[in-house]
Structure 1
Amino acid sequence: MYLVLVLSGAPAWAQDDALMARGAYLAEGVVACANCHIARSAQGRPLFDQGLSGGMLFDDAAFKAYAANITPDPETGVGKWTDAQLGKAIREGIRPDGSLIGPPMPIAFYRNLSDADLAAIIAYLKAQPPVRHVVEKSVYRMPLPSSYGPPVAGVETPAATDTLKYGEYLANIGHCMDCHTPRNDKGMLLMNHLGAGGQTLKGPAGDVVTPNLTPDPSGLKTWTDAQIERAIREGVDKHGARLQPIMAFGWYKNISGPDMSALIAYLRALKPQPFADRK
């Protein structure tokens, strides 16, 4: 795995520091854990002093879901969970009690998290201040699957030198396509229209229709790389209009320059698809 190969001759403290740095970069950047799990005011404003203590409501026709408290509080958060249990919850959607985590947690995409990056995110989460915050239980008006697939293990981080593969990896763990791919009437992603947009999401600022991320004229074909980057980092489109949350530009702004270039290269390589407006 990446971190082991790079740091095998380094002292333990250096390995721990590197693991924490990678975890912070991922959680506060492309994975954007706080975009959903940070506590928010009634107006949807992030309450940074309450950390990743959850509570954000996702009110959909198929579910009324609340983001979980993922701080290390032992009673209301994940403080009693082992590393293995946290990993299974993040990558397979299974809690320690065996229950399944439902949407909007993007398990189908988090299954692509490498072992090394998963370990880094877990280290980051365990280092956060514990916050006691009881979060309501989610209610699903749709059947959840029995599982999201077989157990996941042995996933390596793609080499950053393989730009398209690494860009795809970043798009997966950043769960871009979970929002920017249309869904059918049962809520299933239409993967043959990957990136075509058209979902209507209820964000902190109200309903948001997700745009097309493919290189189609209705998508990003006429956008420059700089314009795409500005939209991701700053939430401003090519015309200067402000984009709205639930887009995680408050965290995507922390993505490194090389990683942003790889992500944009991947979006450029998607199959062009017409905008899938399903309103």
Structure 2
Amino acid sequence: MRRLTKVLLVSFLSLVYSGVHAQEDLLARGSYLVNGIVGCGNCHTPRNADTTANTSMRLAGGFLIEEHEFTAYAPNITQDRETGIGAWSDEEIMRAIREGVRRDGSIIGPPMPVLSYRGMSDTDVRAIVAYLRTVAPVRNSVPRSVYNIPLPESWGPPLGSVPDVPRDDALAYGTYLGYTLGHCMECHTPMSEGVFDFSRTGAGGTLFHKPYGLDFAVTAANITPHAKQGLGAWTDAEIKRAITEGISRDGRPLQPLMAYGYYKTMADADLDALIVYLRSLPPQPAD
């Protein structure tokens, strides 16, 4: 009997340890995503007058993004129960991220990259939610966004289970990093009458009017492997430097619309996979 009790106790402790270890792994992955390639704070953390992040309001929302199509306020995604997402269930947060539906059933509009996030795996979206649960609550009531364009009834049918992408397949995982998690093509793919022109994925050309309080417009770059107008002549090291440091091939600084401060935390293996994806795109001339 004692032997049986001892075996059961060891088994129970092993399960507890495994569960704790799995939760730690999930939180680590969530931190890597939120503070890295997904770059949630690039929009959800308000900025100071010099465009630097207001770290005392981390992820508390209120950052204003104005374009002709909308006046958007990034929402508060801290754990504040009244003005943030502290009262939301995990499933409600995951639905907001991947399907663009708020807790009250209303549709989330741009610039939230829902079309990209629909491909986010179950593991990664749960990791993000697990990490967001650790973010300190900040009370900050944010206005609702106003749109001058009609929003769809939905961004697609309800999602089922989305599997992980194998990391040993550089192209598949690089595509997942660049298209889904990093939502690169939400900025770098041109639009026609408010619709992405995916026949020219990565060709750039989208004009952003005074982003982040700048007093000038910024045009998204061509990130296809076009030899002259894209990244075709760039080395891998030059592409990595542009992504993680915001420095172009010729040494000039790139504009802060890119989330370099987040991308600099990316693992070398992820950067390598991302470059495999970018080099796989059909070369596109600028429009």
Look up the equivalent residue of 1:124 and give its one-letter code: Y
Question: 1:231 is matched with which residue: 200, 221, 242?
Answer: 242
Distance in 1, matches of 2:160 and 2:251, equals 43
Aligned residue pairs total: 269
Q: Which runs of 5+ in 2 are unaligned?
A: 1-14
RMSD: 1.4
Contact 1:54 1:67 in 2 (8 A): yes
Are positions 1:21 and 2:28 aligned together? yes
Deviations 1:24-83 (A, max 9, x none): 001111100001101222443211121100111111111000111000101111111000
Are positions 1:261 and 2:268 aligned together? no
Distance 1:163 1:140, change over 3 A: same
SS class of match (1:91): helix
TM-score (norm: length of structure 1): 0.94
Paired residue for 1:112?
Answer: 119
Are positions 1:212 and 2:222 aligned together? yes
> Considering only CA atoms, is the larger Rg found in Structure 1 or Structure 2?
2
Q: Which runs of 5+ in 1 are unaligned?
A: 1-7
SS class of match (1:11): helix
Q: CA deviation at 1:9?
A: 9.6
Moved >2 Å (runs of 4+)? 41-45
TM-score (norm: length of structure 2): 0.91
Look up the equivalent residue of 2:158 and give its one-letter code: P
Any residues of structure 2 matched to 1:33-182 within 5 Å, and which? 33-171=40-178, 172-182=180-190
Deviations 1:3-29 (A, max 9, x none): xxxxx9962111111110000001111
Paired residue for 2:196?
Answer: 189
SS class of match (1:26): helix
Look up the equivalent residue of 2:224 and give its one-letter code: T
Distance in 1, matches of 2:88 and 2:241, equals 38
Distance in 2, matches of 1:180 and 1:40, equals 23
Deviations 1:84-110 (A, max 9, x none): 000000000000100000000000000
Q: CA deviation at 1:157?
A: 1.5
| Percent of aligned positions that are identical | 47
